[in-house]
């Protein structure tokens, strides 16, 4: 089944949300910092919620959401674990990587907003964009507490 541009853009947002939610959960084992643990758990749940909501929107457009590439997933985990293991500052590595992921998600959301999408989907994407900006500020605040 071929996806149109709207569905592709929305699917990219969904995939990135899945990826980020998984990453937040995976990096929990790499830190003892309770502040990071609680923040990452909260953000993982929020992104999982976005996935569920966005998947219903893509289905309304006639598309089916894709799933994460397992090989890419494993490679990303190896890279993250290696960077943390080789670093003297695991906290900064984790925060920098999460900040980068959030910025990539924001870019995908903005690209999806350029498509001809239903108003209900547009409102959800705008809400997600605002929440990403809040998350980015929170990540910066946590980093500045060092």
pLDDT in tens, 68-114: 766 766 666 666 656 665 556 678 888 999 999 999 999 999 999 99
Would you state the pLDDT for residue 74? 67
Band of residue 35 on the pLDDT scale cut at 50, 70, 90: very high
Nearest to 118 by CA among 43, 44, 63: 63
Q: What percent of the chain has pLDDT over 70?
A: 80
How far apart CA 42 and CA 31 sit, in angstroms, is: 15
pLDDT of residue 61: 77
The pLDDT, as a whole number, for residue 87 is 57
Rounded to whole angstroms, the maximal C-alpha distance in the chain is 49
pTM of the predicted structure, to 2 decimals? 0.85
Q: What local confidence, expressed as pLDDT, does residue 77 receive? A: 65
Residue 62 CA: distances (Å) to CA of 2, 73, 128, 131: 10, 27, 22, 27
**CATH fold of the domain at 5-144:** Ferritin (1.20.1260)
Residue 79 has a pLDDT of 64
Q: What is the pLDDT of residue 32?
A: 87
Please compute the mean of the pLDDT values over residues 104-125 and round it to a whole number.
Answer: 97
Q: What percent of the chain has pLDDT over 90?
A: 61
Q: Looking at 21-30, 54-63, 91-100, which range is the least confident one?
A: 54-63
> Apex CA 116: angle with CA 3 and CA 118, to 5°?
95
Token output for 132: 């990403």
């Amino acid at each position: 089944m071929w996806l149109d541009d709207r569905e592709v853009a929305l699917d990219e947002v969904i995939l990135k949300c899945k990826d980020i939610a998984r990453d937040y959960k995976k990096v929990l084992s790499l830190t003892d910092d309770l502040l990071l643990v609680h923040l990452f758990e909260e953000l993982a749940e929020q992104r999982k919620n976005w996935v569920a909501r966005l998947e219903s929107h893509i289905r309304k457009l006639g598309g089916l959401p894709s799933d994460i590439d397992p090989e890419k997933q494993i490679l990303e985990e190896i890279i993250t674990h290696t960077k943390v293991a080789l670093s003297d500052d695991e906290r900064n590595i984790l925060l920098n990587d999460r900040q980068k992921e959030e910025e990539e998600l924001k870019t995908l959301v903005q690209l999806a907003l350029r498509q001809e999408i239903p108003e209900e989907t547009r409102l959800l994407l705008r809400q997600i964009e605002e929440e990403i900006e809040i998350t980015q500020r929170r990540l910066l605040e946590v980093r500045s507490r060092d």
